[in-house]
Amino acid sequence: MPAIYLSLPILPTPFARPRNVIGGHVIATFTGLVFMTLFGIQWWSMAMAVGTAIAITT
């Protein structure tokens, strides 16, 4: 996970903790899989999955 190597040493904020970084990746992956299962691989379903994952993790 390159995100951990990029965010942890640079940002001493609570959002850069490993638990939050890994949890965000898990939530985004689950959201993408749900959208792919429900709607298939379409450009608009991928865009909705990304938007939903951002909204959930914010």
pLDDT digits (tens, 9 = 90+) for 30-51: 999 999 999 999 999 999 999 9
Q: 16 Cβ partners below 8 Å, 6+ apart?
A: 7, 8, 10
Residue 36 lies in a domain: yes
Element (H, E) at 5: helix 2-7
Residue 18 lies in a domain: no
Residue 43 lies in a domain: yes
The predicted model scores a pTM of 0.72
The boundaries of the domain holding residue 52 are 32-58
Total number of domains constituting the chain:
1
**Predicted pLDDT of residue 2:** 66
Residue 46 lies in a domain: yes
More confident residue, 38 or 13: 38
At 3, the pLDDT band (50, 70, 90 cuts) reads low
Whether 55 contacts 24, CB under 8 Å: no
CA distances to 44, 48, 52 from 35, rounded to whole Å, are 10, 8, 10
Residue 12 lies in a domain: no
The region, left, alpha or beta by phi > 0 then psi within -120 to 50, assigned to residue 11 is beta
Residue 37 lies in a domain: yes
